[in-house]
Amino acid sequence: MEEVVVIGLGYVGLPLALLAAKKGFKVTGFDINKDKINNLSSGVCEIPGIIDKDLIELQDSGVLKFTKKLSKFISPTIFVIAVPTPLDLRRNPDLSYLEEACLSISKVISNGSLVITESTSYIGTLSEFIKPLIEKFTTASDLHFAVAPERIDPGNEHWDLSNTPRVVGGISKKSVHLASHFYSSFCKKVIQVSSPEVAEAAKLLENTFRQVNIALVNEISVLTRSINISMHEVVDAASSKPFGFMEFRPGIGVGGHCIPVDPVYLGYSGDKNNVKMDLVKLSNLKNQNQVKYVSNYISTYFKGNLNGKKIQIVGISYKKNISDTRESPAIELINELRKLGAKVFWHDPIVKSFMGEKSEDLRLDIDLGIVITQHKIINFQSWSDIKFKILDLSPGDHVLGLPKFF
């Protein structure tokens, strides 16, 4: 199969669409966001690692096109689903984007096609949700289905789509074979597993592993602060063990579309099967509590009265050097401090604008500065001679030589 359709052109789908086009597939990128399609068609994109020139050249050479409307395919085609799988308002899995993507596929898919999902979801999603839904609304036959969870780490300059091993599970040997063949064309190592459920569970394990370990250091960081030792120094010391330990840093919680979300999908898999996932659920809560812990500290610092206090938060995306603000605990902290009466400003030269507000330069007329996400391009020099307190909550290098909060 030489033709590929990528459904959802975000952090996951767009890099894949470009790479597949570079490797000789004829790629259609489909997204319901019209502005995104217009921007991509004119070579404009803000996702890290995507080069605007590539977007233009691949489109000009006819191997890549972007569309907001799919037409029927006549020969076997590879459909890759990369739509969001967020949480709803009650923090339960929201499969509405996935459902819509499956319905779009069912209208255009041809006999003998392969559907791969890269979206992260609960164990059983391919077999119980995607496959039956597509089959219900299409007349196409001999369809193949596989799961190949994405492991992309936006902003990571070392690990990318071609050198990060890809796990593939499918509903049949042929599905696994076809999906493996596709990924082998651009990924150095493809690992075949015995079922789609194994691939889905492996992805949830990877991110839950991070969530649980971050919760662990966050919990211990409350203890270390109470006895006046540095959690970062503790982690540095423990990291000197050359085996059996992995470094995780304390902070104000976890953000992004994966670490705070995927463990909920794992917890949901447990609920569906009447298995208690206490550790998984508790670590989510532990990480969410960090914002409360920090805001309590700040409130105590201002003797319980934050009314009118001017606070500037530096770095509001959930991790350094990228603009993604989804589930960012920095934003929760901003909201929490505002609820307590503080006037909160923020500086983030990568996010630039968020919810109608704009990033402001580093201010000098504030009562407290809080560093959360240290993007490479932030220059703290203007804060070097100031009189107000700065809390460095970031996991990165020391800011202006100040001690870390944790």
Ligand X SMILES: NC(=O)c1ccc[n+]([C@@H]2O[C@H](COP(=O)([O-])OP(=O)(O)OC[C@H]3O[C@@H](n4cnc5c(N)ncnc54)[C@H](O)[C@@H]3O)[C@@H](O)[C@H]2O)c1
What is the H or E stretch that residue 271 is in? helix 262-272
Whole-number Å distance between alpha carbons of 126 and 146: 7
Whole-number Å distance between alpha carbons of 231 and 249: 8
Cβ closest to ligand X, residue 91 vs residue 310:
91
Do the Cβ atoms of 183 and 25 come closer than 8 Å? no
Min dist CB 382 to ligand X, Å, is 32
Residue in the shown chain whose Cβ atom is closest to ligand X: 10
Q: Pick from 29, 76, 84, 369: which binds ligand X (CB under 6 A)?
A: 84
CA angle 87, 285, 406 (to 5 degrees): 120
Assess 265 for contact with ligand X (CB under 6 A).
no
Assess 8 for contact with ligand X (CB under 6 A).
yes
Cβ closest to ligand X, residue 73 vs residue 345:
73
What x-and-dash track marks residues 34-53 binding ligand X by CB under 6 A?
--x-----------------
Of residues 186, 170, 8, the one with CA closest to residue 80: 8
Q: Pick from 64, 214, 258, 390: which binds ligand X (CB under 6 A)?
A: 258
Min dist CB 160 to ligand X, Å, is 12
Residues in Cβ contact with 80 at an 8 Å cutoff, skipping those fewer than 6 apart: 4, 5, 6, 7, 13, 16, 116, 117, 118
Q: Pick from 3, 150, 200, 348: which binds ligand X (CB under 6 A)?
A: 150
Q: Which residue has the tokens 């990060």?
A: 164
Hey, how many other C-beta atoms are within 10 angstroms of the C-beta on 147?
34
Assess 152 for contact with ligand X (CB under 6 A).
yes
Told to judge if 187 belongs to the known catalytic residues of this protein, a careful annotator would answer no
Whole-number Å distance between alpha carbons of 287 and 255: 10
What x-and-dash track marks residues 182-221 binding ligand X by CB under 6 A?
----------------------------------------
Instruction: Please pick, among 45, 102, 187, 258, the residue that the annotation labels catalytic.
Output: 258
| Amino acid identity, position 287 | N
Of residues 279, 291, 118, 153, the one with CA closest to residue 211: 279
Assess 29 for contact with ligand X (CB under 6 A).
no
Taking CB under 6 A as the binding criterion, the range among 116-124, 140-148, 237-245, 314-322 that sits at the site for ligand X is 116-124
Q: Pick from 3, 4, 5, 12: which binds ligand X (CB under 6 A)?
A: 12
Min dist CB 69 to ligand X, Å, is 11
Taking CB under 6 A as the binding criterion, the range among 58-66, 98-106, 107-115, 378-386 that sits at the site for ligand X is 98-106
Of residues 296, 321, 293, the one with CA closest to residue 215: 293
144 to each of 28, 172, 179, 328, 350, how far by Cα in Å?
19, 8, 9, 37, 41
Do the Cβ atoms of 146 and 114 come closer than 8 Å? yes
Taking CB under 6 A as the binding criterion, the range among 118-126, 218-226, 299-307, 345-353 that sits at the site for ligand X is 118-126
Whole-number Å distance between alpha carbons of 173 and 258: 29
Assess 131 for contact with ligand X (CB under 6 A).
no
Q: Pick from 4, 5, 82, 147: which binds ligand X (CB under 6 A)?
A: 82
Whole-number Å distance between alpha carbons of 87 and 69: 26
Min dist CB 402 to ligand X, Å, is 30
Min dist CB 178 to ligand X, Å, is 21
Residues 266-285 that bind ligand X (CB under 6 A): none
Cβ closest to ligand X, residue 154 vs residue 263:
154
Min dist CB 60 to ligand X, Å, is 23
SS3 193: coil
Cβ closest to ligand X, residue 39 vs residue 127:
39
Of residues 61, 68, 79, the one with CA closest to residue 17: 79
Inter-axis angle of helices 196-226 and 262-272, to 10 degrees? 120
Assess 32 for contact with ligand X (CB under 6 A).
yes
Taking CB under 6 A as the binding criterion, the range among 26-34, 162-170, 297-305, 364-372 that sits at the site for ligand X is 26-34
What is the contact surface with ligand X in residues (CB under 6 A)?
A: 7-13, 30-33, 36, 82-85, 97, 100-101, 104, 118-120, 150-152, 154, 257-258
The set of catalytic residues is 258
